[in-house]
Chains A and B, each alone.
Chain A
Amino acid sequence: MLEDALVASTLDTALLGGADFAEVFVEDKRNSSAFLDDGKIEELTSGRDRGAGIRVVAGDTTGFAHTADLSENGLRKAAEAASAAARGGGGGVRKVTLERQHASRDIEIETFPETVAKATKVELLQRADEAARATGDSISQVSARYGDSRRKILVANSDGLLAGDDQVRTLFSINCVAIGDTGMQTGRESHGRTIGFETFDHHDVSEMARTAANRAITKLAARPAPSGAQTIVVGPGGGGVLFHEACGHGLEADLVAKSASVFAGRMGEQVASPLVTLIDDGTMSAEWGNFAIDDEGRPAQRNVLIQDGILTDYMYDQLRARKEGRPSSGNGRRQSYQHLPMVRMTNTYITGGEDNPADIIASTPNGIYVAQLGGGQVNTATGDFVFGMTEAYLIEDGKITEPIREGNLIGNGPEVLNRIDALGNDFAMGHPGTCGKDGQGVPVGDGTPTLRVTSMTVGGTAA
Chain B
Amino acid sequence: MTDLLAIAKKVVGWANDDEAIEVVAVHDRDTEIRVYGGEIEQFTASESQGVGVRVIRNNRQGFAYAGSLDEDVLAETLAEARDNTPFGSEDEFLGLAAPDGVAVPELGLYDERVATMDTDAKIALAIDLEAQTLAGDPRISGIESADYVDSISESAIASTAGIESVSRESGSYVAITALAEEDGDTQIGFGFSVGRDPNALDIGKASSDAADRATRLLGAVQPETERLTIVFDPFVTAQFLGILGGTMDGDAVLKGYSLFADRLNDQVASPLFTLVDDPTNTDAFTAGETDGEGLASRRNVLVENGRLNAFVHNAYTGRRMDTPSTGSAVRSYSSVPRVGTRALFLEPGTQSQAELISGIDNGVLIQGVAGIHSGVNPVSGDFSTGAEGLRIRNGALGEPLREITIASTLQKMLGDIQAVGSDVDWLPMSAAGVSLVIADVTMSGS
Contact = CB atoms under 8 A, between A and B. Distances in A.
Nearest to A342: B42
A163 interface: no
A85 B43 contact: yes
Contact of A460 (B68, B142, B257, B442): B442
A338 interface: yes
B336 A44 contact: no
B282 interface: no
B87 A85 contact: no
Contacts of B68: 48, 50-51, 68
B45 interface: yes
Nearest to A77: B47
Interface string A26-48: 00000000100111111111111
Contacts of B49: 68
Interface stretch (A58-66, A206-214, A291-299, A360-368): A58-66
Do most interface residues of chain A lie in helix, strand or loop, or is the interface mixed? strand
B349 interface: no
B48 A375 contact: no
B385 A408 contact: yes
Interface string A358-384: 000000000000000011111101101
A34 B224 CA distance: 48
A46 B84 CA distance: 8
Contact of A386 (B67, B83, B91, B385): B385
B136 interface: no
Interface in A54-92: 59-68, 81-82, 85-87
B286 interface: no
A411 B225 contact: no
A382 B87 contact: no
Interface stretch (B18-26, B373-381, B391-399, B429-437): B373-381
A382 B177 CA distance: 13
Given A46-B81, A227-B407, A228-B446, A338 B48 contact: yes
A43 B62 contact: yes
Interface stretch (A105-113, A255-263, A310-318, A418-426): A255-263
B384 A262 contact: no
A68 B67 contact: yes
A143 to B, nearest CB: 8
Contacts of B89: 39-42
Given A42-B88, A47-B66, A407-B405, A459 B45 contact: no
Given A384-B403, A457-B404, A47 B65 contact: yes
Contacts of B350: none
B408 A461 contact: yes
A140 interface: yes
A141 B64 CA distance: 27
A45 B336 contact: yes
A371 B44 CA distance: 43
A418 B409 CA distance: 33
A304 interface: no
Contacts of B255: 37-38, 141, 143
Contacts of A46: 63-65, 80-81, 83-84
Contact of A62 (B42, B81, B380, B382): B42
Contact of B444 (A85, A227, A387): A227
Interface string A382-402: 101111100000000000000
Interface string B123-145: 00000000000000000011111
Interface stretch (A17-25, A178-186, A279-287, A344-352): A178-186
B40 interface: yes
A63 B446 contact: no
Contact of B188 (A50, A260, A460): A260
A376 B371 contact: yes
B305 interface: no
Contact of A405 (B41, B61, B379, B380): B380
Contacts of A460: 384, 407, 442, 444
A122 interface: yes
A410 interface: yes
Given A44-B63, A388-B375, A260 B142 contact: yes
B37 interface: yes
A446 interface: no
B46 interface: yes
B254 interface: yes
A258 B43 contact: no
Nearest to B442: A461
Interface string B412-436: 0000000000000000000000000
Given A42-B88, A60-B36, A408-B374, A384 B257 contact: no
Nearest to B187: A382
Contacts of A229: 446
Nearest to A337: B67
B46 A66 contact: yes
A445 to B, nearest CB: 18
A377 B63 contact: no
B222 interface: yes
15 contacts: A34-B87, A46-B65, A47-B65, A50-B68, A65-B45, A68-B49, A122-B87, A183-B259, A225-B384, A228-B444, A376-B374, A379-B188, A386-B385, A459-B386, A461-B442
Interface of A: 34, 37-51, 59-68, 81-82, 85-87, 118-119, 122, 140-141, 143, 177, 179, 183-186, 219, 225, 227-229, 255, 258-260, 262, 338, 340, 374-379, 381-382, 384-388, 405-412, 438, 457-461
Given A44-B84, A51-B68, 12 more contacts: A37-B255, A59-B39, A64-B42, A184-B380, A377-B374, A381-B187, A405-B380, A408-B385, A410-B405, A412-B403, A457-B444, A459-B444
Interface of B: 36-37, 39-49, 54, 61-68, 73, 76-77, 80-81, 83-84, 87-89, 91, 141-145, 177, 179, 186-188, 222, 224-225, 254-257, 259, 334-336, 370-371, 373-375, 377, 379-382, 384-386, 388, 402-409, 442, 444-446
* Closest A-B pairs by Cβ, 7 of them: A459-B405, A388-B374, A408-B375, A407-B384, A386-B386, A386-B371, A40-B89
